[in-house]
Structure formats: C-alpha cells, structure tokens
A and B are shown apart, each in its own frame.
Chain A
Amino acid sequence: MFEITRHEIRQKRKGIVTFSLFVFFFGIMMVAAFETLGAGLDMDELFESYPAFVTELFGKSIVSFGDFGSFITVEYLQWVWYLIVPAYLALFCAGSIAGEVERKTADILLSYPVSRQRVVLEKFLAAGAPVLLINGMGLAAILVGAAAVDVAFEARWAVYAFMQATPFLLVWVGAFTLLSVLVYNEKTVSTLSIGAVFGLYVLDVVSRLVEGVSFLGYVSPMHYYDPGRAMALNIVAWGGSIVLVAAAVALAFGAAYVFTRRDISG
C-alpha cells in the first residue's frame, strides 16, 4: 500500500521543499515587518480610513494592528493561505491524474494490479505531504519569529489556526483532484483550479459585503476557515473544520468514483 503516494511525493519533492521554504521565509519576513512597522506606524488609523470593502478584503476577524495575532493574520495567513497556497496546490494536483493520462504514463500504471479508486485516493493522500509541510513551516515561522522578536503571543492560538488550515487545504486538494479526473488536460485543470480559488475567495468577500447574498458564501471554503478567529480573537470553534473534513472526503471519493467510470484516453 501507499506505493503510489510515495512515488508521487518523490517525484515532486523538490517543488514541495522549495515552496515550503518560501512559505517559511515569507512568514519570518512578516514577523519582522510587525517588529518594524507595527510598533512605529499607527496602522489602525490607516486601516479604518479605508472603505468597508477594503477592510473586509483584508481582515475578517482582527482586533488591531498593534496585536501580533491580528497583524500576522492579515499580512500572512489570510492571503498566503487563502490564495497562494491553494494556487500552489492547484498546480500540484492538476498533474496527478490528468497529467498521467495526458502523458500516457497511466497506461502502464493501470496495467498493474491497482484499482482506479486506489490511484485517486493515493494521489489525494500524496497532496497531504505538502499540506502538512507547508502548515508546519508556517507555524514554525510564526513561533520562531515571535520568540525572536519577543512578542507576547501564546503558541496554542497559532497551533489551532494551522490545525484548522489542514482541512481547509484538503478541501482544495479534493476539488482539484476531482477536476483532474474530469478533464484529462493538465493545463486546463490548473487554470480552472486557480480560477476557482480566486473566484471562491471573491465570492466569500462579496457574500459578506453585499446584503441579501450571504448564502452564496456557503459554497466557498473560505467561509469555513478564518485564521483570525484563533490568532486574533482567541476563539476556538471546530464547526467549520468538521464541514471541511466532510467536504474533502466527499470530493476525494467523488473523484475516485468518476475515475472508475471513465475511459483512459489521452
């Protein structure tokens, strides 16, 4: 078991490590920015002078910019985890099935005694490696950074925020995997996937800003994950995470089902 997962991770290990390091150093940079900016500038005043939609765009649950948890949420988690990491995962997952079928490596792979379900589920699991490593690197950046600049911040809030980030990212992996079995074209899949990330992000923002369309937000994974709740407001609620886990599992099995019913044709 897990040969396909291991193979997939091995094939993509360089990319996984490079991107995780980028995430780590970016986090360290943001902590350093808090040290220099947050203390000097009165960010709160600046922030409040913007119209409501700008503040909605940048922060859901924040206290003030002088607060380390709020600052990191706005400047790091809320856009790197909302947009950049899902976009990276879109590229990671697009090739998983579509790429193998398109490049015809799937022909020999599927001549071995592995079921189509197993291929899809193992590929899904393989994306767990970058998800865990990226979250670990983000957490490390915040904790190492906070210790270095000596701010008062309880580590457990960051731990909660990243624990909740895991199902959030896995939902994306599930969605991208489903796209990857629906369309056997790696480029199309990655374009659609990245489009979906930005589209659903905007949908989440719009659903909070425009009256009467709040129901639209339920479609967006961003609706179920708000790093600021733990990081800034110090509230821990798992309801959203439960929805995300259920959705991720449903998407992964949905992708497996679709793949078993399709012809392999490049």
Chain B
Amino acid sequence: MNIIETHELTKYYVRPGLKKRQTMGIEQVSFAVRRGEIFGFLGPNGAGKTTTMRILLDLIRPTGGTASVLGLDAQKDTVEIRRHVGYIPGEILFYEGMTAGDLLRYYEQLMGAPATRKGELVSLFDIPLDRPVKTFSKGMKQKIAIVQAFMHDPELVIMDEPSSGLDPLVQQRFYDFLLRERASGKTIFLSTHILGEAQRVCDRVAIIRKGRIAAIEDVAELRAKSGKRITVTFEGPVDEADIMTPEVRDVAPLEDGYVLHTGSRVTETLRRIAALPVADISIEETSLEDIFMHYYDGDGDV
C-alpha cells in the first residue's frame, strides 16, 4: 500500500470579487509516496507544492481528483488520518503569548495521546521550553514546528519547505535526523525549491511546475542530470571543438565565450580550457532551471 496516493488532483482557487475569476492551483497531479521513503516535491515557489500538501490534510478541498493518505480518503477520514500524520506548514505561526512548553503541551492534548518523543526532540533541537514563543527567531519557531510534527512518532510526516529559516548547522543536523527517521521506517513527504536539498535527503522526487507534475524520478537519475554549469569567456576567438570533451553535455555560444553544461566531473574540460586564453570563468552547480530547460518540455521560465 502506498502511504500517499493522488489521482489527477486539481485545485482552482476562486478569487473573491464580482467576476469570480478562478486561478489555477494545481492540475491533474498524480503521484504516489511509498512506505519508508523520503519523497520530495521539487519546484519553484508558486508551483503548487503547498496546495497539494494542504489538500492532503484537508485544509483545502480539491476541485477534482482524489487523494488518499495511509489508505484513507483524505477528505472523509481526515480526523483519523491526522492521528498518524505530523505536519510542518510552510508558514509557521504559533500562539504568540504561550511558552514553547505550553504550546507543545497543548498540541499533545489535541493529539489525545502522550507525545512519546517530546523529551528526546526538545533536547536534540535545543528548545528553551520556558520562553514565550514571541521572543523566538524564525529558525527557532521552525525547530518547534519540527518537534511538534515528530513528537507523537507519526507514520508519515508532511513538511512544507522544512529547512527554510534554519541556519546551515541546524539544517545539517535536521537532514541527518531525517535520514535516521527514514532508517527507522518513517515515511516523509517534503517540499523544497532547492535542488541540492532534494538530492541530499530524498529517495525520489516529483518535479512540479506551474501546477503540473513534470516528472517523477529517483534521485539517482536526477543527480545524473545535474552537474556543473561553466561560463567561460576568452580573450580571442576560440573554436567550439577546442573546448568539447566527453564530459560536456551541452554547449551554448556567448559573444566571446561559451556556457557549458557538464556532468559532475569536469577535470578534462577544465584542463582543455586552461590551455586557452581565458578572460573569465565561473563554475556553478546546475540549477533547477537548467534541469527544466534541458530535460523537460520547459523553456526555463520558472
């Protein structure tokens, strides 16, 4: 049984006003998340990641299509589903006047079951329980959200851009934590707009764009598609053949140079380039835009 399954899930938002204009949220989104995997929803902001996640938790209702979570209907059985699911929303807001400790206690009461992992997580993420939430930074609120989502040891955790606001050190600790959780059998569905993050923690990703799923792939395949982007300019004319190596997948000419897309290995290419009259060079990780442009029907306009 798949932990999450959607079939042609579609959501149009009705804008208030006289004309009742509809704007598209997502269109015919179908995917499945398997038990025990970390599944990533990868796409730029506004692609429909949040919309999909909110439908799974019945915060909003689809215009069409179906969704099931843990084998239950996402709309009809939502209360039962939420007993076994943790959630980190994209925008995290708490009751400002409460202390972190009172807040977690309240969520524990709402769950109606003891939060067996509360103590462990509070110390892992260094949550000061006696301080009021309103004194916390964005990153600290994010950490509290992580604790509340995992403290009941749910079967599935749905996380909307969970690492945003975390400083790099905590981010690292969080990724390690996710990988440990997966090892112990938890299923995780997370969204991100950062390719590197998806590659770092996910087993599979759905690439979502303009409300539609562009592709669903193993991260290994995605990694094969990603690589480096080398932008190089020369002091004089250089023939394209002079810089081509088996590492180069794609080349686009500039006025006085080239943009090369390569795999992750660039040794030979750099050696070639070094022998030429280089004016300037920059090497970057392939961006999500590049991947769209080269592998999916896209025009890179994300």
Q: Which residues of A approach B to under 8 Å, CB–CB?
A: 3-4, 7, 11, 103-105, 107-115, 263-265
Contact = CB atoms under 8 A, between A and B. Distances in A.
Contact of A112 (B59, B89, B94, B107): B107
B87 A113 contact: no
Interface of B: 13, 54, 57-61, 78-80, 82-83, 85-87, 89, 91-95, 97-98, 106-107, 109-112, 145, 148
B59 A11 contact: no
A3 B93 contact: no
Which of B57, B59, B85, B98 counts the most chain A CB atoms within 10 A? B59
Contact of B111 (A7, A104, A110, A112): A112
Contacts of A103: 93
A218 B2 CA distance: 56
Nearest to B55: A263
A103 B95 CA distance: 9
30 contacts: A3-B106, A3-B109, A4-B110, A11-B95, A11-B98, A103-B93, A105-B94, A105-B95, A107-B91, A108-B87, A108-B93, A108-B148, A110-B57, A110-B59, A111-B59, A111-B86, A111-B87, A111-B89, A112-B82, A112-B107, A112-B110, A112-B111, A113-B82, A113-B83, A114-B82, A115-B79, A263-B60, A263-B61, A264-B59, A265-B60
B92 to A, nearest CB: 8
Q: What are the nearest 3 A-B pairs in CB distance?
A: A111-B87, A112-B110, A263-B60
A111 B82 contact: yes
Given A263-B60, A263-B61, A113 B110 contact: yes
A104 B97 CA distance: 15
B60 A104 contact: no
Contacts of A264: 54, 59-60
A233 B80 CA distance: 55
B107 A114 contact: no
